[in-house]
Amino acid sequence: MPPVSSVPSATRRVVVLGTGGTIASRLDEHGAATPVDPVGGLLADLGAELGHDLVLESRDLFVKDSSALTPADQALVVRAVQETLAGPDVVGVVVTHGTDTAEETAYLLDLVHDDERPVVLTGAQRPADAPDADGPRNLRDALRVVADPAARGLGVLVVFDGLVLAARGTRKVHTHQTAAFAQPDGGPLGHVADGRLVVDDAPAHRAHLTLDTADLASIRVDIAAVYPGVDGTALQAFATAGARGVVLVATGAGNANPAVVAAVADLTDRGVVVGLTTRVDTGPVWGGYGGGGGGADLVAAGAVPLGTLRAGQGRILLLSLLAALGDPDRVRATLPTYL
């Protein structure tokens, strides 16, 4: 299954975009996994056939550990997917990606993806030179899913360890096991069985955004944690550093304390949008608690509940809405329609 660089225009193509991650990593002289492989090499090593009248084409965007991605890198991935889908002969796109931040890139792609053709992210938990590397299976599954007509209309997907997950709500749930991803508040959307996509669940409604990818790299959105004794220092510091949005990772159903509520009110006055999520693994946040520091107080101070989104994807939603809409009041008012 070698990469093909130029194909006749009548040919239908599946394009694989490489970005690095463990799937592209080998152990260095110190035994540390380091991304080095171009994606074309991964495809050649796979040696499989798509089994359709499809031609594979590959392109490396960069070769990085996904923990080191910058907003500019993420914007580059978005542009590359959009440019690739401008080709009418393209059936779908696979993005190979590190698992650490795949949930962010997948959700960002999903928010701007207004096309029936599938975009699939995959990766690996074990380096390419591990004897039991999981990358080849994941990449093979991703190719099969993207080439499957049943994937049309499902949006951006994460295909990993046999699961097919909708981008929104998908999170990395284990640091090293090959079953690295789940949709803890729903899903999975489907699975891969005998090399075929099986859709188990109806895809959730998806709302799209139109934005200038350059803004993704210039708008600052931070994440602040809540814990016993926390005050407003981090929130204020982020606002002073130029943040236009901050995701507050609260406790429980979305609670903090009076000092944090005061800081949220101040940030709201300064035009900073505060999104409210939780450090709890599953369940939605809601403004059910009062007493000066509860979720009801945070919402009254201007914080916007992020539903079941956790910090990484909540940050992507704030960033994307700020890029698309600009005005903080419009962002606050519009955000719930994306949950």
Ligand X SMILES: NC(=O)C[C@H](N)C(=O)O
Q: Closer CB to ligand X, residue 123 or residue 155?
A: 123
Neighbours of 202 (CB within 10 A): 8
For residue 30, what are its two tokens? Answer: 């110190």
Q: Which is nearer to ligand X, 65 or 110 (CB)?
A: 65
Total number of residues that touch ligand X (CB under 6 A): 10
Q: Does 65 bind ligand X (CB under 6 A)?
A: yes
Q: Round to whole Å and give the CA distance between 102 and 69.
A: 10
Could you say whether residue 100 binds ligand X (CB under 6 A)? yes
21 binds ligand X (CB under 6 A): yes
The answer to whether 105 contacts ligand X (rule: CB under 6 A) is no
Q: Which among 22, 84, 122, 170 is annotated as catalytic?
A: 22
Cα–Cα distance between 157 and 123 in angstroms, integer?
Answer: 12
Q: At a CB cut-off of 8 Å and minimum separation 6, what does 330 contact?
A: none
DSSP 299: H
HSE value, Cβ hemisphere, 13 Å, CA-based, for 248? 40
Give 22 or 320: the residue with its C-beta nearer to ligand X: 22
6 is in an annotated binding site: no
* Residue of the chain from 58, 84, 99, 105 that contacts ligand X (CB under 6 A): 99
Q: Is residue 138 near ligand X by the rule CB under 6 A?
A: no
Q: Which stretch binds ligand X (CB under 6 A): 96-104, 114-122, 137-145, 301-309?
A: 96-104
Which residues are CB-contacts of 302 (< 8 A; sequence separation ≥ 6)? 264, 265, 267, 268, 274, 332
**Per rule CB under 6 A, is residue 123 in the interface with ligand X?**
yes
Which runs of E-coded beta strand occur in 6-118?
Answer: 12-20, 25-27, 33-35, 54-64, 90-96
DSSP assignments along 29-47, one per residue: TTS-EEE---HHHHHHHH-
* 297 annotated as belonging to a binding site for a ligand: no
Q: Which stretch in 53-61, 62-70, 147-155, 205-213 sits in contact with ligand X by CB under 6 A?
A: 62-70
Q: Which is nearer to ligand X, 98 or 187 (CB)?
A: 98
Residues of this chain that interact with ligand X (CB under 6 A) are 21-22, 65-67, 98-100, 123, 125
Residues classed as catalytic:
22
Annotated binding site: 66, 99-100
